[in-house]
Amino acid sequence: MKTMRWASLVAFLVLLLVLAACAAQPTAIPSTAGEQPTVPAIPDPAAEQEAALPFAEEDVSHAIALSQMRGHLSVSLPLWEAGNYELAAAHASHPLAELFPIVEDELKAVNADAALRSALDAYLKLAGADGDAAKVKTAHQAVLGAVDAAEQALIGSWVDDATFQGEVIRGLLEGVEEEYAEAVTDGKIGELVEYQDALGFLTAARQHYEAIEAEVKAEHPKEHEEIEEQFIKLEAALPGVTPPAEVVAPDEIEEHIGELVAELSEAVGLEAEATLSPVEIIAAIREKVEGSLEEYKEGKNDEAYELAASAYLNGFEKIEADMVAKGGQELMETLEIQFKDLRDGIKAGKPPADLEQLASEINANLDKAEALLK
């Protein structure tokens, strides 16, 4: 009997241990696949655009700068032929003084900077005075060839890409809109140089469209007809270096460009541009200026220059026309000079304290621009 009681007790203890072990196991909870919940990713528009486009924003900016060189040069020669040497020289100087620095480092990296600089300088020396017409025309052709070679060296792989060409055309037409708005005051051409800048940029935009015209016409005939119609209207408004007797209003130019870009976007698949207010654009400009200084202090001069150039080309230029329309011509011109001084200061390796002071002055004037445009 005693043996049986001990056996029963042992069996009871074993049962308790088994039950305790079962209780320690986690209770199975039904699930679809045992997966952990995921947090939805936050879209990054900049990353999405970079993934969508095989070329970089800098490629487009460089192509626009080189094309604006062509634009200035295209109006310089007829001015020289008309005996207007002062204006001919003014347009011949812009590529070297304002646009060449934007692409200089990249050209230097592929050993293509010296040829372009030399050709620009050679033509500039001839454009400001009377001389041998054959010699001037030869120098003009040479400098256009040098611009073509520079473009091939920097962005040759994208020259035949319709979307890339479309982005360049859009950038050039934005320049047309801005320069034309600056040129017109009270229904008259008050700033002849700006009018001629607009003409040159339009000429360059047309040349870029001609490079993809056959493709667009074959694949998007309706859009091509609309694009061609708007080009014709713009060319009628800017027929040559001498303005027409009847000046087209800037709003009408803006409308033609808007319609042209809309059709071009349909045809070649341009990325939609974010619509930013002047205040948002100014905020982006400030950020780039600040970033430029930070890169400069770290010894990253190329990156600093790119940011400073972008602050002007991809930021300030977008509000210039609005500033002029609201009576801010003098403020706009002051800021133009200051942005150039910032780029030149980075190129020259000026002390960071000097550039910080300049950036402070830029920001003070941006405060005035923001108040003007609100």
Q: Minimal CA–CA distance to 323: which of 286, 288, 374?
A: 374
Q: Minimal CA–CA distance to 308: which of 321, 320, 296?
A: 296
User: In the chain, what's the furthest Cα-to-Cα distance?
Assistant: 135
Residues 6+ apart with CB under 8 A from 245: none
Residue 208 has pLDDT above 50, yes or no: yes
Q: What is the pLDDT of residues 104-163, one digit of tens each?
A: 989 999 999 999 999 999 999 999 999 999 999 999 999 999 999 999 998 887 778 999
- Determine how many CB atoms are found less than 10 A away from the CB of residue 159: 15
- Reduce the DSSP state of residue 28 to 3 states and report it: coil
pLDDT band at 274 (very low <50, low <70, confident <90, very high): low
Q: Minimal CA–CA distance to 243: which of 310, 200, 192?
A: 192
Residue 243 has pLDDT above 80, yes or no: yes
- Determine how many CB atoms are found less than 10 A away from the CB of residue 76: 29
* DSSP designation for 36: P
- Reduce the DSSP state of residue 122 to 3 states and report it: helix
Distance CA 129, CA 121 (A): 14
Segment 230-245 mean pLDDT: 97
Distance CA 194, CA 181 (A): 9
Per DSSP, helices labelled H in the chain are 2-24, 45-52, 57-81, 85-94, 100-109, 113-127, 133-155, 162-183, 192-219, 221-237, 250-268, 278-297, 301-311, 317-325, 329-348, 352-373
The answer to whether residues 90 and 128 touch, using CB atoms and an 8 Å cutoff, is no
Instruction: Look up tokens 């930070």; give the residue.
Output: 294
**Model pTM above 0.85:** no
pLDDT band at 53 (very low <50, low <70, confident <90, very high): low
* DSSP designation for 99: I
- Determine how many CB atoms are found less than 10 A away from the CB of residue 126: 21
DSSP letter string, 315-348? IIHHHHHHHHHTT-HHHHHHHHHHHHHHHHHHHH
Q: What is the pLDDT of residues 88-101, one digit of tens each?
A: 999 999 999 889 98
With pLDDT > 90 as the criterion, what percentage of the chain qualifies? Answer: 65
- Quote the pLDDT of residue 303: 84
The answer to whether residues 231 and 215 touch, using CB atoms and an 8 Å cutoff, is no
Instruction: Look up tokens 């308790």; give the residue.
Output: 16
The answer to whether residues 178 and 197 touch, using CB atoms and an 8 Å cutoff, is no
The rounded Cα 345 to chain-centroid distance in angstroms is: 21
- Quote the pLDDT of residue 273: 66
Q: What is the pLDDT of residues 18-33, one digit of tens each?
A: 444 444 444 443 444 4
The least confident of 11-15, 56-60, 156-160 is: 11-15
Q: Minimal CA–CA distance to 58: which of 161, 154, 150, 202?
A: 154
- Quote the pLDDT of residue 119: 98
∠ CA 199-201-204, nearest 5°, is: 110
- Quote the pLDDT of residue 367: 95
- Quote the pLDDT of residue 107: 94
* DSSP designation for 269: T
R_g (Cα) of the chain, nearest Å: 31
pLDDT band at 48 (very low <50, low <70, confident <90, very high): very low
Q: Minimal CA–CA distance to 343: which of 162, 97, 72?
A: 97
Distance CA 288, CA 346 (A): 14
Segment 225-248 mean pLDDT: 97
- Reduce the DSSP state of residue 165 to 3 states and report it: helix
